[in-house]
Structure 1
Amino acid sequence: MFTGIVEEVGTVTAVDRGRHSAVLTIRAERVLEDAKVGDSIAVNGICLTVTGRTAGSFTADVMHETLDRSSLTGLKPGTEVNLERAMAAGGRFGGHIVSGHVDGVGRVQSVRRDDNAVWYTVSAPPHLLRYIVEKGSITVDGISLTVARVDGNSFAISAIPHTVAQTVLRNRRPGDLVNLENDIIGKYVEKLLTPAPETRAEGGITKEFLAQYGF
């Protein structure tokens, strides 16, 4: 599990592509301080397993499913990526619950400065937008961000200069793809409120039940 607080920006140094998979080599410093083979590191918000490491870099396998559902398919040597180690049990929870399992991709529509903030508007498909709510949390390329606005086609976030400077948001331009992970709590709530047909007769909490009692 991660929190969406990026620890450092690493650089892809090699991409070895197979028929449907790839092996990434990423140059990093801070996330390697205590990393070992088998540990998890979020790369642009995607939980990857360290398969090898040197003094200044690590390798990770990327499977077919991950390439199909994320922007990692466009990585090339020289690309900067957000990096975060898995949360330590005694660490501070600075962002929100991030699983590192990307739900899909969005596309940057616009980047606009507003005094000391930078607004990013991102278009996303309906199956992702349904879980995005104003003032809720969204993970963009592994960064825990607060949704400032949402409509039927897109959402917007307002980032402080520190966040932009310390992450790959500084490189994002209109047209760029970004990895999106919805707030997992919303997905669980929807699942529990929509029980499987074979279990509905057993009762439990439903939308009708909540409406009947004023929720």
Structure 2
Amino acid sequence: MNSKLENSPMNSFPKPPPNLCDLPVEIVEMIVKNLDLPRRVIVGRVCKTLLGIANQLESPRVNDIKITVGSEGCEMKIEGYPIKYGKPDEESLDKMMNDLVTFVPDFQLNTVSFRFNDSPSQKLFRSQYLKRVSQPMKVQKLVIKMFNKNDHIMEKEIVNSSRIIEYRFLEKLEDDFIKLKVVHLECVERIGTRWITCLKDVYHTNVRDVQDFV
């Protein structure tokens, strides 16, 4: 009788491989808590159980965010880890804002960078941002990259008390070259919360691969 059971179809299936969720919840929480933000995002995308554990933990400190918005798609890099949101529309930008306020609940950052590849995307982003983010972020360095000099991001609405502001105006040339104008403002003296002295530096250059530079 034992031999029949051993040879039955029920015993022919291999056992499933060990799973992280097979561990006690307390141990899984300890593992996820010790991950940096990019790895925590990756783990959260494995299954709903791990996503729930990752979301209920206090977010690790974020120091650098880079946001790119254009007709080809939207992306936010958290500490160098890219999160893609698809074409720029209200739904995709709403998801981006959900992540932004989750990763930066205190609205304080070391560096934030915005890149806008066209005017319609820039205007839609600004509209969604002001709807969703309740207050300007406090950042040490703000970088704004745009192809249209007439676009205005209203940086005082989006960030507050930046010590360094850098505008990078981009213009497409022939042979895949990009004409780049950089306006670098660095504040060196303040009274209370207001900067009163800033140093300004302006320079121009041409680059073939704009990603390498910006």
The answer to whether the superposition gives a TM-score over 0.5 is no
TM-score (norm 2): 0.24
Please identify the structure whose Cα radius of gyration is greater.
Answer: 2
TM-score (norm 1): 0.24
**Richer in helix (by share):** 2
